[in-house]
Amino acid sequence: MQPRQETTFDIEDQPQIFADATPKIRSIRFGDWEMDTWYVAPYPEEYSWYPTLYICEYCLKYMKSKYIADRHKMKCPMKHPPGDEIYRDGLISIFEVDGRKNTIYCQNLCLLAKMFLDHKTLYYDVEPFLFYVMTEINDTGCHFVGYFSKEKRSPLNYNVSCILTLPIHQRKGYGNLLIEFSYLLTKRESKTGSPEKPLSDLGLLSYRYYWRNVLFEVLNDSPEALSIEELSRATSMTVNDVVATLQINNMLVKDEENGTYRIVVDKDLIKNHLEKVTAKGYPRIRTENLRWTPFILTRALRRAQDLENEKNISKQEQQNSTDRTNKIVDDEMDVD
């Protein structure tokens, strides 16, 4: 068992959190850890007036007191997230959880995440999303580390809607591992992808770090010059993200004569950077350990969505017809 520890994040460093001066949840007890919260989460009112909220690290059920949490711990049947385990490497395991099949778990996950994410707005409408939950395994079960979510059908090809690593597990390379895993799924789908905007400040830093590393790896391994489109295909990053990363790292230079851009590669700089990254010893995704096929909506679900769209269109047409009728009546009354 891990000892109870306080995180280094002080609630006083987050003055904007309680600007509304309503909820009193200042910390959560999560397994053997106690963490200060950063932002207000919309828990039911009867839970929002306790200074500490107790959350089961397996099923994510939230409770008012240690007594209730201890009783729950003795009878909770879960030792890992629901859904399918699609990746395992040593002590790291990742589960795919369907928001439609495991609604309560995913809603609880979103409420937990809101305590540490400023821009998060998804709480209860979880059915259109898949959740990828990373855990650390020991002899007592699979312990929650972090997660990311993605839409089952994203019209803008977002490969991440929301991403979080718990504060107690930050600075271990897990955030980068989640990002790398999201792009592995995108690659398996034969697509390019990008995270949903806006990103938090910490999220933006994490993505810029990952994008730079993966582009540097591709450029370092390639004996020939690569185009932006080739870099996009090799990394599953969007062209816009590739261009932005190259610009930030001063690797995109405009040719004043013909107005085109070219990529400037400093192999020594890239090699030195990658050596520093490797020296940190952060975990990396092993692609051969993935056991997963892309999510495909069944014909029944697609038909249900189509029927819902048709229903909305029909309602709009009826409203338009009513508006036209009312206008005709109004015009006739004006004539009379």
| Cβ atoms within 10 Å of 168's Cβ, excluding its own | 20
For residue 322, the one-letter residue type is T
To which residue do tokens 């090809």 refer?
A: 157
Task: Specify whether the CB–CB gap between 66 and 51 falls below 8 A.
Answer: no
Q: On the CB side of 315, how many CA atoms lie within 13 Å of its CA?
A: 6
Q: Phi and psi for 36 in degrees, rounded to 5? A: -70, 140
Q: Burial letters for 15-28: b for 16+ Cβ neighbours within 10 Å, e otherwise?
A: eebbeeeebebebb
> Three-class SS of residue 254?
strand
Q: Is 111 exposed, middle or buried (0-12, 13-18, 19+ CB in 10 A)?
A: buried
What DSSP string runs through 140-169? TEEEEEEEEEEESS-TT-EEESEEEE-GGG
Residue 76 tokens read as 């909770």
CA 146 from chain centre, in angstroms, equals 9
Catalytic residue among 196, 256, 275, 308: 196
Reply yes or no on whether 180 is catalytic. no
What is d(CA 204, CA 199) in angstroms, rounded to the nearest whole number?
A: 6
What H or E segment, with its residue span, contains residue 181?
Answer: helix 174-188
> Three-class SS of residue 28?
strand
Task: Specify whether the CB–CB gap between 289 and 89 falls below 8 A.
Answer: yes
Indicate which residues carry an active-site annotation: 196
